[in-house]
Amino acid sequence: MSKARELRALLSGPDIVMAPGAPDCLTARIIERAGYPAVYMTGFGATASRLGMPDIGLLTLTEMTEHARNMTRAVAIPIVADADTGYGGPSNIHRTVREYIQAGVAAIHLEDQVAPKRCGQLSGIRLMGAEESARRLECAIAARGSDDLIIIGRTDAIGAGDPAEAVRRAKLYREAGADLVFVDGIKRVSEVELIAREVPGPKVVSIVDGNETVTLTAKDLGAMGFSMALYAVTALFTAARAIADAMATLKRDGSPKGIAPQVTYAEYCDIVDLASFSRRDDVFGV
């Protein structure tokens, strides 16, 4: 079964699909080991891990799909990948879809911002026309052909300050054929409730650490009608805080002795599956 078909089966099940964001392959492995059914390859995290820069559309299609290929090799669970705006016009969108299919991801989302695009939580978002964006989604669906890839239509209209337009665009993108719709940039519980109430059918919600939506549990979101919940920055922000604290302690004390808690060397080797590589070397090595 393809990963896309596996994710479709999860989405048709009784429980909301929780997909934490992974900025890199190591984090994706940790997410898989924790028992999550899917992982989110977040553009925010990919930009952070590859460039150490903000999510303002700096990564290219080639860089993003290389990142996706590495991640699909690292884990066995389905990957939902950020495909930004499709990286250009219709022919670019066609290539984007085919490259992500080749990379082995289960789903991609395409957004409706104009360049320079930015993270949905940032200010200054500018949108392309809704009808143009719907045609671009139709192009992506045509490019998919008979493949199982799930295509998610994303709107950043709430981030641009227009909740009513976000609802309109989500409905339009569903009519264009998107498998799921995704209103990004949500910061308030009232906005989650609005989308749950006004947008019918399968939909995605993103819960971002630091805003009031974190009071909503996955069970709450499932009961509201959401099919998938993304937690794009939870792992990234947690890791960044832990690293910053550890480095401060090391600089202050001159030793890592006081840094806690950490994984042990043995635990780390287990995460990266060193044993399977060692067995291969034992069988085939000279």
Please tell me the total count of domains within the chain: 1
CATH number, domain of 178, equals 3.20.20.60
Residue 116 covered by a domain:
yes
Residue 258 covered by a domain:
no
Residue 260 has a pLDDT of 84
Residue 55 covered by a domain:
yes
The CA–CA distances, whole Å, from 37 to 28, 81, 108, 110 equal: 11, 15, 16, 22
Residue 118 has a pLDDT of 65
Residue 271 covered by a domain:
no
Q: Looking up tokens 């490259």, which residue turns up?
A: 99
Residue 202 covered by a domain:
yes
Residue 286 has a pLDDT of 77
Residue 286 covered by a domain:
no
Residue 120 has a pLDDT of 58
| Residues counted in the chain | 286
Buried b (16+ CB within 10 A) or exposed e, 12-51: eeeebbbbbbbbbbbbbbbbbeeebbbbbbbbbbbbbbbe
Structure tokens at 190: 């009232």
User: Where is 184: in which H helix or E strand?
Assistant: none
Residue 285 has a pLDDT of 87
Residue 259 covered by a domain:
no
Residue 270 covered by a domain:
no
Where in the sequence is the domain holding 136, given as residue range(s)? Answer: 3-240
Q: Per-residue confidence of the chain (286 residues) as pLDDT tens digits?
A: 899 999 999 999 999 999 999 999 999 999 999 999 999 999 999 999 999 999 988 999 999 999 999 999 999 999 999 999 999 999 999 999 999 999 999 999 999 998 767 665 666 788 999 999 999 999 999 999 999 999 999 999 998 889 999 999 999 999 999 999 999 999 999 999 999 999 999 999 999 999 999 999 999 999 999 999 999 999 999 999 999 999 999 999 999 999 988 999 999 999 999 999 999 999 998 7
Residue 86 has a pLDDT of 96
